[in-house]
Structure 1
C-alpha cells in the first residue's frame, strides 16, 4: 500500500519513504512510527499504542522515544516547532495532520518476494574447502560487497535488529548490497577452522561469483579490512573502489614488542558463552563508549550470538597477529578510509599509516570515540552520506 501525505509517499510493501520524489533513509522504528501515524491520520495515537506497535511492548525510555519522534519529523520535512505534519498532543500522544490518500501499488497486485523488504532471501555457495557460506543481496544499483569483522555477523540477526536493518535499508537505497557470514559464524556452516585471510579473500570471491558480481565496490568494517585488502591485492581487476571503516595496518600484538595482555581477549574467554555477561558488555563498551546504550546492546547481542567462543577466540588471535603492510603497494583502486578521532581500540595513527601506504588513498576523520559510528552519534549523517557517495561512485 502507498500512502501519500504532504509531499511524502510511504510504501509499506517496499518499506520506503520518499519526500519530494527523493528517497529518505529511515531506520525501522522510525518507519514503523510514521506508518502507524499515517494509518491513523487525524486520530490521536497515544504513547501506549506507540510502545506496543513500534517497540513491541518493551520498556522504552523517554529519550529513546523522543529521538524516534524527532527522526520521524525530520524524515517527513517537519520540525518540533512547526509541527505541520506530526503534531504533539501534550501529555497524550501524537497525531498526523493533513490529508492522507492511499492506493494499492502495482507491485502489490503481483507479489514479488525479491522486492519485498520484509522478506530476506539467504542463499549459499561453497568455500574451496567445501564449507557452506551464507549470503544475501539487498537493493538494486551499483554492486557493493561488505567485508565485516571476521566471525561477528549473522545475516538473520542483522535483518531482525533495528540498527543493522536500518543500515542495510540505507545502503539498499543506492546500491545492490551483498553481505555474507564468514565460515564458522552466523548463518554459514559452523565449522571450526583457523582464520587465514587469503582464504577469506577467496571465500569473498566465491560469494561474489555466486551473486553475479563481476566488478564492484567494497566496504570493510574494523578487522574486515584485512581480507578486503587481501582481496584488493589478489583481484585488482574486480574491485572498483574500497571504503575502509575503522581499519588498521597492524594487529594489536604487532604494534609493540612489549604489548600488555589483551584484556578484550580475556573478556571473550570469560564471558562469550554467557548471555548478558558483564565481560561481553565491557567488550562492547570498549568499542562503543559513546553509545547510544540501546544500540550498543544490540551490537552486543548480535556479535555474541554470531559465533561460538572457540571461533571468536581464533578470530581474535588472527587479527591481533595480522598485518596488511605488504599488501598496500598492490592496491590499485580508489580507497577511502574513515576513522574515529578518539578510537581507543585501533588508534587514528593506524588509519593514518594505512592511508599513507596506499597510493591516492583519502582519509576522513570522524568526530567520535566509537570505533564505528552508531545511529544517533553526532557524526552519523555526515559519515553515512560520505560513505554512500563514495561507494555509489
Structure 2
C-alpha cells in the first residue's frame, strides 16, 4: 500500500516520500508525522496523539512537534499560511487537508535497494547542571562512544550512510549536544567544560567505565578534553578532522586573524538571518564532493537541529577553543585521521594536535572532505584504519547499552 496526494507519493514499506518519481529527503520523524496524518486523514489528530505516535513514551517539548510539522509541510511544498496539505486546527491538533489516493500493488520497476536505518533506543539523562540530554545506541558489538558535534540531532545521521556503516560492527553511542536535537534547547550560555560534563553524564548513565571514544570535527576537541581530564575512562581515542585550536585561536598573522573573524561573522549572518546560501559556504567546505541537493539536505538538517542563537554560540565556542593543555594529559593510544586537502580544517591543524598527543598515529586520508560519507573514496581507508586500531584494543569494560 502506498498513498498518493497531489503529485506526491508516500510509501510506508520503503520509508520513502517522492514527487514525480524523484525521492524527497525527509528525516524519519518527519516521515512518521506525514504517515500518521495520512492514515488518520478522516479526523483531526490531537497533538498528544501525534506526539505518542512519533516519540512513543519519550517526553519531548511541543516545539519539537511543531518543528517536525513545519518540516513535513516544507517537504510537500506547503506552509503555515496556505495549509494546502496539513491544516492546523487551533486548540485541537492537525488534519491532512489534501485528497489521498490509496494504491495497492502498483506495477512498475522494482525499487532500488535502500539502506535500512538502524534502530535506536533514545533515552534521556541529566548533566550536572540539570540539562536533559538525549542519547541513543545503534548497532551491536563492542561499544564505540561518539562525542557530540554541534548542530546535529539523533533524528538524522552523518553524511551518507556512515552512521549505518559504523553501526555494523559496533554498538555506537551518540547523544545530542545541549541546545541541539532532542536535548534541552533553551540552555543559555555554555562552554567546553559543559560539553565535557555532558559526555560524562551520558557514559555514567550507561554504566560505561572504560570505552573507546570517537571525535569528529569539533567533537574531536570535546573528546580530547574528556580523555585528558578523565584518562581512566578512555581506552582508545579516534579523531577525525581534528584540531587543538579553533580558527580564531590558532590565527597568528594579521591576515589569518582577519579571515578567522570574517568566517565567524559569516556564520553569524547565515544563522541569525536564516540565509541558507551563506550557510552553504561552510557546507561546501565540509562536503565538497556532494551534490547541491545533498548540501541543501545537510544544511536543512543542521537548521532544524538548533536555534540560530545556539548555532552562533557553538560556532563561537569552537572558533576560540584550545585543548592543548588537555592533549598532553591523554594517556591512551590515539588514531588521528585527516583529509590531506581538508577544506574546512587544514591538515596542519590536525598535525598540530597529533604531535601533542603522546604516542599518536596520524593517517592522512586522500581527498578534501572534512566529513566522510561511505561513498567517499577515503572511506575504505578510514574504515580499515579504524577496524585495525579498535581491534587491537582488547576486551571492553562495561556492557553495551541496551537499545
Same fold flag (TM > 0.5) = yes
Residue pair 2:132, 2:183 contacting (<8 A) in 1 also: yes
| Deviations, residues 311-364 of structure 1 (Å, cap 9, x unaligned) | 111111111111111112210011001101111321101111111111110111
Cα pair 2:118 2:139 within 8 Å, conserved: no
Unpaired stretches in structure 1, ≥5 consecutive residues: 1-47, 63-91, 97-115
Deviation digits for residues 366-393 of structure 1 (CA, Å, limit 9, x no counterpart): 1111112223222122223322442344
Deviation of 1:53 (Å) = 4.7
CA distance in 2 between partners of 1:95 and 1:123 (Å): 34
TM-aligned CA distance change 1:352 to 1:191, over 3 Å: same
Aligned to 1:99: none
Assess, with a 3 A threshold, how the Cα gap between structure 1 residues 353 and 286 changes in structure 2: closer, same or farther.
same
Checking the alignment, whether the CA contact within 8 Å between 1:284 and 1:300 is kept in structure 2 is yes
Contact 1:184–1:192 (Cα < 8 Å) also in 2: yes
TM-aligned CA distance change 1:130 to 1:362, over 3 Å: same
Q: How does 1:2-13 map to 2 (within 5 A)?
A: none
Residues 1:121 and 2:116 aligned together: no
Distance verdict in 2 for CA 1:58–1:379, change over 3 Å: farther
Aligned to 1:278: 277
In 2, Cα distance between the equivalents of 1:156 and 1:361? 33
Which residue of structure 2 lines up, in the alignment, with residue 260 of structure 1?
258
2:298 alignment counterpart: 299
8 Å Cα contact 2:125-2:133 kept in structure 1 = yes
Partner residue of 2:193 out of 198, 205, 219: 198
Taking the aligned partners of 1:292 and 1:55, their CA distance within structure 2 comes to: 20
Tell me if the contact between 1:142 and 1:216 (Cα under 8 Å) persists in the aligned partners: no
SS of the residue 1:217 aligns to = strand
Q: Deviations over 1:74-115 (max 9, x none)?
A: xxxxxxxxxxxxxxxxxx95699xxxxxxxxxxxxxxxxxxx
Match of 2:55 in 1: none
Q: Tell me the secondary structure at the aligned position of residue 155 of structure 1.
A: coil
Post-superposition shift, 1:274? 6.5
Q: Give the 3-state SS of the residue equivalent to 2:258 in structure 1.
A: coil
User: What secondary structure is seen at the aligned counterpart in 2 of 1:154?
Assistant: coil
Matches of 2:197 and 2:14 in 1, distance apart?
Answer: 43
Match of 2:314 in 1: 315
1:242 touches 1:335 (CA, 8 Å); kept in 2?
yes
**Number of equivalences:** 292
Contact 2:119–2:139 under 8 Å retained in 1: no
- Counterpart of 1:357? 356
Q: Secondary structure at the match of 2:325?
A: coil
Offset, 1:59? 6.2
Separation in structure 2 between the aligned mates of residue 331 and residue 60 of structure 1, nearest angstrom: 52
Contact 1:292 1:376 in 2 (8 A): no
Give the aligned partner of residue 135 of structure 1: 135
2:144–2:172 Cα contact (<8 Å) kept: yes
Q: CA deviation at 1:294?
A: 4.0
Structure 2 Cα separation of the partners of residues 173 and 244 of structure 1: 19
Q: Once the 2 structures are TM-superposed, how far is the Cα of residue 227 of structure 1 from its aligned partner?
A: 1.5
Q: Determine if contact 2:236/2:390 at 8 Å carries over to the other structure.
A: yes
What corresponds to 2:228 in structure 1?
Answer: 233
Counterpart CA distance in 2 for 1:362 and 1:58 is 47
TM-aligned CA deviation for residue 156 of structure 1: 1.5
Q: After TM superposition, list the pairs within 5 Å mapping 1:55-70 onto structure 2.
A: 56-58=17-19
Q: Determine helix, strand or coil for the equivalent of 1:377.
A: coil
Partner of 2:344: 345
**Kindly tell me: are residues 210 and 376 of structure 1, through their superposed partners in 2, closer, same or farther at Cα, counting changes over 3 Å?**
same
Residues 263 and 288 of structure 1: CA distance in aligned 2, closer, same or farther (over 3 Å): farther
| Of 332-341 and 349-358, the range deviating more from structure 2 | 349-358
Q: Whole-Å Cα distance in 2 between the matches of residues 61 and 383 of structure 1?
A: 32
Q: In 1, Cα distance between the equivalents of 2:388 and 2:268?
A: 40
